[in-house]
Chain A
Amino acid sequence: MQKKSTFKRLMQNQAAPLVLILIVLLIVTMILSSGVTQGAPVSAMFTQGFMSRTNLRNFLYSIVIQMFMACGIGMLLISGNIDLSVATQASLSVMIFAWLHQNTPLPWIVCILITVGVAICMGCLSTFLVVKLQFPAFIATIGMSSIYRGLCSVMTNGYNITISDGPYLRTGRLMVGGVVPLLFIIALAFIIVFQFILSRTNFGRSVFMTGGNRAAARLAGMNPNRVILILFIISSIMAAFGGMAWVANIGTASPTSIIQDAPDMSVISASILGGISFMGGAGNLIGSLIAILLLNVLENMMNVLGINPYWIVFAQGALLTLALAINFVSEQRARRKLLMRN
């Protein structure tokens, strides 16, 4: 067997084409948004438009919630499950947190802990439906999602809760080096830690094995049900974190805004685009992160170009469909080969 060149090997990495597209998109966006095409000096690329402090900060803030969610959703997908209630869970968590923060004298840390406690219950509930009652994860979590959405509105009769200025908002808005939100760094740390867990620990291995073949994993002494429980709980906690990060940035908890923004859909697209198999058993979170950056830079670029926001939604939908199609075709091919194996 001949040795492949380093370049070839790099290109065979599933994330490689994504990184390339991301870099190209980034450069195009930087050029278009900074007015270089209208005669501004080339150096403006790095200081104006997309790269301006405000825009960069807003951009990073806007993807924090997706990054949190990508941890839970990504690992659930790898284990052969899915959680479609993540956005509504985030929404409900936010409402609970905001209510506690505004209406009780509890310190903000305690409010966060209580919210996380509620999230853990939501994760257990999903697991109960999926593992004990054996509902397909897809159906169980869609059902739960409408319940959570209803609860969100019921809590405040549909009104928003504004978070009063205080240590919570101040901490949530801390910047590192002037442009990078602390929350972004926290989210990044979560992705890296979870990726480490996935690839290096025996728990991570059992996530892959559960997704690869649940029955076989069980017969080999692993505990797929416990894996699924832990993953649903992680997913719910990450949703709550994402929601609370969102509120720290916006300053107002609304029962509908997260749901309307549908960050979970972007995250599912990004996960698939980033190489997580829709049928479970394969993938990694770094790919999801790159895909999240890609999708959001794309959105930013279309905004700069003044494209109708509806088209942006359309473009994202098209990308998801494309990613799914590619994933599906290659999976099908692999599965077919597998079926033919002897």
Chain B
Amino acid sequence: MEERSLELRGIGKSFPGVRALDDINFKAEGGKVLALLGENGAGKSTLLKIINGDLHQDEGTVLVDGKEVNFTTPQDAINAGISIIYQERQLLPFMSVMENLFVGDLPKNKFGIIDKGKLRSETQRIIDDFGLPISPDDMVGRLNVAHQQMIEIMKAYRRDSPIIAYDEPTAPLTDTEIEILFKIIRKQKEEGKVILYVSHRLNEIFEICDDIVILKDGKYVKTLHTETTNEKELITAMVGRDIGDTYANLDRNTEFGDVVLELKDLKTPYIHDINITGRRGEIIGLAGLVGAGRTEIARAIFGVDPITGGQLIVDGEEVHFKTPHDAINAGIALCPEDRKYEGLILFRSIKDNISMPVLDKLTFSRFFVNFKAEKELAEEAVQKFDIKTPSIDKVLMELSGGNQQKVILGRWTSSKLTTKILILDEPTKGIDVGTKAEIYQNICNLAKDGLCVILISSELPEVINIADTIYAIHNGHITGTIKREDATEENVLTMAMLD
């Protein structure tokens, strides 16, 4: 088998006001998994987009198997054997799994008509390789986000490209799917493929990667080897300082106030008999697998899903929200899990996105937007979360994924919101390790200010180390409650798998 390789020489790329990449050199070889690691906005995604022809570099060359290539579209790159899995899904929600997998390349019979039988059997074969509980005919829009992400991964798997790049593939996945993904990556590695892997989760990098290329502010820092390095060295190389033990160093809130939130036997079509009590200053963690019903609990509290039974009590009074607007007025904020579809307006600026829920508080005579106050609010968020951007007028789609996530956190923690109950659904999705530590401290500070925070996260360590009280959710039911002092990954996971 010939040796595969992907080499970058002197790659540079600028955007208006940003030097996204500067003189990047490295080589990825077949049969190895190369990690790209760096803070939010370091240029990882930009680099991958240059490799697959979605963007064109200003300087430098890309070499595939030692030969210079010049792609003008992603299709060129696919034809040349390069597949990229983007973190943001690009599926056709109203099409079936099999149509999504083979889009652009549907098997035809000799009359030129789509060969449904072959389509179905090929798709089934791929699903079997992955071992997922889905069928070729399922409509993709109906699948949960984790399974949708797996479809995205299957698309690249199906093409059997010799060069595969994963950009934060695990952000929407839970352990079950991550395990499957790693099995697939190991197989691809054995087949001698060149694999690039971007993630902010260091444990994954240690598990699956061989070499680690570190980027900082668009520049190449160094290459480390998983065999010989450790977490501390990685973080220092990428953040530029030692951040110490994230959880142990947290300055937590220890005093809880009155009960502000009570769910009594709460029911919606998706959740059953949910009982949760939240006090001022308390952080409540919801742990469970994807699809367990954690997001659905949040949606019920926020007035999105209709409540069909039980009681929702805020500040001692039973409430019936018809819309999220009512919930916001009652002091509840929800930072949604899917930033692209439910959170952000990608074509609008950072400022516009941050001010959304409080716009009516930023007005003259209730009607005219006070641009100055709006600007200050946005700048406050940019500072608080260290959002990397040349200005608050930059449109969201030009920000890196992690920085988009920070914008949405900024929106829901702004000083103009009179929040009593803050629900954070996967708040650190796509956020780099350094910033994560800051966000955890931010969450604790909010609790100190007397907020009741509900934290939903698929990263179990996050939930069990930050939350004061942890509820395990399975199949729309609460299957256990535990205090942080007693919680371990094992016992919480066991509860979350109980029926």
Task: From known contacts A201-B369, A202-B367, infer whether A338 and B346 are also in contact, taking CB-CB under 8 Å.
Answer: yes
Nearest CB to that of B356 among chain A residues? A220
Q: Which of B304-358 contact A (CB under 8 A)?
A: 304, 323-325, 328-329, 334, 336, 340-348, 352, 356-357
The residues of A that contact B352 with a CB separation of less than 8 Å are: 205, 208-209
- Interface mask (B87-131 → A, CB under 8 Å = 1, otherwise 0): 110100000000000000000000000000000000000000000
Which secondary structure characterizes the binding site on chain A?
Answer: helix
The residues of B that contact A217 with a CB separation of less than 8 Å are: 345, 356
Would B88 and A342 count as touching, CB distance under 8 A?
yes
Q: Does B359 contact A (CB under 8 A)?
A: yes
Task: From known contacts A202-B367, A223-B325, infer whether A209 and B401 are also in contact, taking CB-CB under 8 Å.
Answer: no
Q: How far is the CA of A342 from the CA of B84 in the complex (A)?
A: 12
Q: Does A212 contact B (CB under 8 A)?
A: yes
Task: From known contacts A200-B368, A340-B49, A342-B167, infer whether A219 and B86 are also in contact, taking CB-CB under 8 Å.
Answer: no
The residues of A that contact B397 with a CB separation of less than 8 Å are: 334, 337-338, 341
Task: From known contacts A202-B369, A212-B345, A212-B347, infer whether A339 and B90 are also in contact, taking CB-CB under 8 Å.
Answer: yes
The residues of A that contact B168 with a CB separation of less than 8 Å are: 342
Would A220 and B411 count as touching, CB distance under 8 A?
yes
Would A202 and B341 count as touching, CB distance under 8 A?
no
Would B343 and A222 count as touching, CB distance under 8 A?
no
Q: How far is the CA of A154 from the CA of B117 in the complex (A)?
A: 55
Nearest CB to that of A208 among chain B residues? B348
Q: How far is the CA of A57 from the CA of B17 in the complex (A)?
A: 49
Q: Which of A221, A337, A341 contacts B401 (CB 8 A)?
A: A341
The residues of A that contact B16 with a CB separation of less than 8 Å are: 1
Distance from B15 Cβ to chain A, minimum over Cβ atoms (Å): 10
Q: How far is the CA of A69 from the CA of B311 in the complex (A)?
A: 48
Distance from B467 Cβ to chain A, minimum over Cβ atoms (Å): 23
**How many of B's residues come within 8 Å of A, CB to CB?**
47
Distance from B217 Cβ to chain A, minimum over Cβ atoms (Å): 16
Would A205 and B359 count as touching, CB distance under 8 A?
yes
Would B345 and A201 count as touching, CB distance under 8 A?
no
Distance from A281 Cβ to chain B, minimum over Cβ atoms (Å): 5
Task: From known contacts A202-B369, A217-B356, A219-B342, infer whether A342 and B87 are also in contact, taking CB-CB under 8 Å.
Answer: yes
Q: Does A151 contact B (CB under 8 A)?
A: no
B residues whose Cβ falls under 8 Å from a Cβ of A: 16-17, 45, 49, 54, 74, 86-88, 90, 167-168, 302, 304, 323-325, 328-329, 334, 336, 340-348, 352, 356-357, 359-360, 362-363, 367-369, 390, 397, 400-401, 404, 411, 430
Q: 7 nearest interchain CB pairs?
A: A212-B345, A220-B356, A342-B87, A221-B328, A221-B357, A342-B401, A342-B45
Interface CB pairs A-B, < 8 A, 21? A1-B16, A201-B363, A209-B352, A212-B347, A212-B348, A213-B345, A216-B341, A216-B342, A217-B345, A219-B342, A219-B343, A221-B328, A337-B397, A339-B88, A341-B45, A341-B88, A341-B346, A342-B45, A342-B88, A342-B401, A342-B430
